[in-house]
């Protein structure tokens, strides 16, 4: 009996040893390189993330990334418009180098992108959601992308197997596709790059049905600069220094809530109501809403018809100020309603990663392709180098590397993502990439970061919203902008004293030395990134030729 027990014990020990060996083998085969989940929304203003500012909306799931990782307060873009921003993220190059200067020009597919490099390095790669350009994104084992801007309801997707229409709400669908890939087609022995890209909160701002009631009943605080008249220098000072008192670029831009936000397409009033009121509108609401099926449209009309009727009754008594305020509230109700859906779905993804034990070896990034105006300076949209457009949200979680709850104030850009992801993966970045890896900052190595200024250049003029061409640099303290092409105007802002950018001190004698230093830095940065007046003229000529054709 004793011998039998000894044999049984020995057999059990062998089984335990075999099990341990199997687990060790399994663990050794598991990917040691971090997974990368890149979450990007479209036109998500940092002001509409409660980790930055909780006056407009609560975003607890996006905030989790900051609470468990790092929040960047000076993250910026190189060109505040959708497709060029995405091209910069993929290539790690400025607009004038990768050539995608605006939303219309084609993307040069000879550009090498970081997903291609990671794929070659053994990463499994997937993209779901809005790319905005190109129907066959390179470097991805699987993709399902929206054509162009895509639709909020019942959207069409482009896939390797052909186009497909999926019923439902786009933010939920993109998340469903993402989770389905993680659950059923992720190869456990490989690290992965997952690009999870939302259409929301892009114009025309259609929330999910579950958010109609909550957000249409809310009233939001009004920004201090909603009624900005774009005077940046007092007339007396302007006359004495021979300078424009008003910013020509700001004054002529076509993105004012009163004058350029449409009652139809943007505020969702039907054509019959607009015509009954004797108004004209360049767009009507039929396009986006016509994608809804009868049940979806009935749910929409049940909430929005009373809003329309109330407006019809109130409009005859409205003046410019009250109409601006009405349009502003309607804008934010729909815009923020779409963000509520993004936040919920980010939570679904974070919960899945945690449930499956993937969170500890996964870098999670949340950002937007640029910032957005939520009534500041009277505007919606983006494009300018002013802060609400130029700055973008950036939150990064990397367990056991980033100290939870860290705030980072260094000047970083979407230009830096490609090299950051390559270094995280242990892959050498191509020498012609122009950014800087954020890894030293993520590891708390502040002394390794030596960037003082970031560079910006916007090209899409003449074009939608009529924002003039401009380039400039920004430091933590100052911002210098040069508007060119059909104007020649300079603006300098003291970011510490004037964060709302209401006072152009370019001509102020007290800032003469700052002006000299910033002008010198701008020239140095343009040379560093291989930008020049010759390139400015080349892209103007290219743009004109394209418009003629």
CA distances from 517 to 482, 489, 492, 523 (A): 15, 18, 12, 10
- For the chain, which ranges sit under pLDDT 70? 1-31, 135, 282-286
Could you tell me which of 202, 63, 104 has the C-alpha nearest to residue 461? 104
DSSP string, 236-305: HHHHHHT--SB-HHHHH-S-BHHHHS-TTTTT---HHHHHHTT---S--THHHHTTS-HHHHHHHHHHHH
User: Could you tell me which residues come within 8 angstroms of residue 104 by beta carbon, excluding any fewer than 6 positions away?
Assistant: 460, 546
Q: What rounded mean pLDDT belongs to the chain?
A: 93
Q: Report pLDDT for 546.
A: 84
Other C-beta atoms closer than 10 Å to the C-beta of 230 total 18
174 and 199 Cβ atoms separated by less than 8 Å: yes
**Furthest-apart CA pair in the chain: how many Å?**
110
3-state SS string for 159-214:
ECCEEEECCCEHHHHHHHHHHHHHHHCCCCCCCEEEEEECCCCCCCCCCCHHHHHH
> Could you read off the pLDDT of 82-110 as tens digits, one per residue?
999 999 999 999 999 999 999 988 899 99
- Element of type H or E holding 519: helix 512-528
In sequence order, which ranges of 315-398 are alpha helices (DSSP H)?
320-355, 387-390
Q: From CA 146, how far away is CA 158, in angstroms rounded?
A: 6
pLDDT for the residue numbered 133: 84
The pLDDT score that the predictor gives to residue 17 is 41
C-alpha–C-alpha distance, residues 185 and 181, integer Å: 5
Pick the CATH number of 452-549 from 3.10.450.100, 3.40.50.720, 3.30.1120.10, 3.40.109.10: 3.30.1120.10
CA dist., res. 120 & res. 129, Å (int): 23
């Amino acid at each position: 009996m004793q011998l039998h027990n000894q044999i049984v014990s020995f057999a059990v020990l062998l089984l335990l040893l075999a099990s341990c060996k199997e687990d060790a083998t399994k663990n050794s085969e598991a990917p040691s390189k971090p997974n990368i989940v890149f979450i990007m929304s479209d036109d998500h203003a940092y002001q509409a993330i409660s980790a930055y500012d909780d006056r407009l909306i609560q975003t607890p799931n996006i905030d989790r990334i900051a609470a468990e990782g790092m929040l960047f307060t000076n993250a910026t873009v190189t060109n505040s418009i959708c497709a060029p921003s995405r091209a910069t993220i993929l290539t790690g190059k400025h607009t004038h180098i990768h050539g995608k200067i605006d939303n219309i020009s084609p993307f040069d597919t000879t550009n090498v992108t970081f997903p291609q490099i990671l794929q070659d390095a053994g990463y499994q790669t997937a993209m779901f959601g809005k790319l905005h350009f190109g129907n066959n994104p390179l470097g991805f084992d699987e993709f399902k992308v929206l054509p162009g801007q895509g639709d909020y309801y019942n959207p069409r997707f482009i896939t390797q197997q052909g186009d497909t229409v999926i019923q439902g709400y786009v933010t939920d669908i993109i998340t469903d596709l993402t989770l389905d890939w993680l659950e059923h087609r992720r190869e456990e022995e490989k690290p992965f790059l997952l690009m999870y890209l939302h259409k929301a909160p892009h114009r025309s701002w259609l929330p999910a049905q579950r958010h109609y009631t909550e957000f249409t009943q809310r009233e939001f605080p009004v920004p201090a600069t909603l009624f900005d008249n774009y005077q940046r220098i007092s007339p007396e000072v302007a006359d004495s220094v021979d300078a424009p008192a008003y910013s020509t670029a700001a004054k002529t831009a076509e993105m004012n809530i009163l004058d350029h936000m449409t009652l139809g397409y943007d505020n969702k009033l039907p054509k019959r109501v607009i015509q009954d009121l004797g108004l004209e509108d360049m767009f009507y609401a039929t396009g986006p809403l016509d994608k809804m099926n009868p049940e979806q449209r009935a749910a929409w009309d049940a909430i929005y018809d009373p809003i329309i009727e109330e407006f019809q009754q109130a409009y005859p008594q409205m003046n410019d100020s009250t109409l601006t305020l009405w349009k502003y509230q309607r804008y934010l109700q729909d815009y923020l309603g779409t963000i509520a859906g993004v936040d919920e779905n980010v939570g679904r993804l974070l919960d899945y990663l945690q449930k499956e034990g993937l969170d500890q070896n996964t870098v999670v990034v949340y950002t937007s392709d640029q910032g957005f105006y939520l009534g500041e300076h009277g505007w919606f949209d983006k494009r300018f180098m002013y802060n609400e457009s130029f700055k973008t949200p950036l939150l990064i979680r990397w367990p056991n590397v980033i100290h939870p709850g860290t705030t980072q104030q260094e000047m970083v850009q979407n230009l830096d993502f490609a090299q950051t992801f390559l270094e995280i993966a242990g892959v050498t970045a191509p020498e012609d990439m122009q950014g800087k890896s954020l890894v030293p900052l993520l590891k708390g190595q502040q002394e390794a970061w030596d960037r003082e200024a970031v560079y910006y250049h916007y090209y899409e003029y003449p074009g939608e919203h009529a924002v003039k061409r401009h380039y400039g640099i920004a430091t933590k303290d100052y911002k210098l902008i040069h508007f060119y092409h059909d104007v020649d105007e300079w603006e300098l802002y003291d970011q510490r004293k004037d964060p709302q950018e209401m006072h152009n001190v370019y001509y102020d004698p007290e800032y003469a030395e700052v002006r000299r230093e910033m002008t010198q830095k701008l020239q140095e940065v343009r040379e560093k990134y291989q930008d020049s007046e010759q390139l400015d003229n080349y892209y103007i000529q290219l743009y004109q030729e394209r418009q003629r054709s």
